[in-house]
Amino acid sequence: MRYVLFSLLLMLTLSVQAQRRLHGQQGFQATIGKVDGLKTQSLHTGAAWSQFTKNSHRWVFGAEYLNKKLPYREQFIPVEQFTGEGGYYRTIISGRRKSFFFSAGISGIAGYELVNGDKSLLYDGSTLVSRSKFLYGGAVSFEIETYLFDNIILLMGFRQRVLPGSTVNMFHNQLGAGIKIIIN
């Protein structure tokens, strides 16, 4: 009995490192960041589900909200984008102990762009030419992941969104950070 208790105590005190990025492992991530530069009045938030494939690559499916305020005289015109995304991220660099990863990804994007709350008349009587409409396009992303704990990952990333369907701006660059929680 003493040997069993001693073995259990020894197992509890030794640090155990979980296996990371196994084929089929899934995670949920939430991100937040700035759009088109740090000085702009803009932000993006997103939530996504990811599943790892062989060789630590992963599929990502999620939704994102982008809010940008375009300057117009003394006020700002709000532009909001509600988008869904599906993409594939390939691991480019991996740390030897599997605690650091650098990935590049490509995604397809579709959604809706809402310009000035769908109101074409501005406060000074001017009329907006840009209209609310459905969006389509894609994104190229670069992401750094580092494990804080065995199931919690800190994310930092840069992405370039290309949305030819936008009436306001076809290109948006995003700089963000987030947390990913490995579910199984």
139, HSE (Cβ side, Cα atoms, 13 Å): 29
CATH number at 178 reads 2.40.160.20
pLDDT at 9: 47
* Residue 95 within any structural domain of the chain: yes
The model's pTM: 0.82
pLDDT at 46: 97
Average pLDDT, whole number, for the chain?
Answer: 86
* Residue 151 within any structural domain of the chain: yes
* Residue 1 within any structural domain of the chain: no
Domain total in the chain: 1
pLDDT at 119: 80
b/e burial code for range 63-72 (CB count within 10 A of at least 16 → b): ebebebebee
Q: How many helices (DSSP H) and strands (DSSP E) are in the chain?
A: 1, 8
pLDDT at 10: 46
pLDDT at 16: 45
Q: Give tens-digit pLDDT for 133-181.
A: 899 999 999 999 999 988 999 999 999 999 998 888 899 999 999 999 9
* Residue 9 within any structural domain of the chain: no
Q: Which domain holds residue 143?
A: 21-182
Contact indicator for 182, 40 with CB cutoff of 8 Å: no
- List the one residue out of 47, 63, 40 whose CA is nearest residue 173: 40
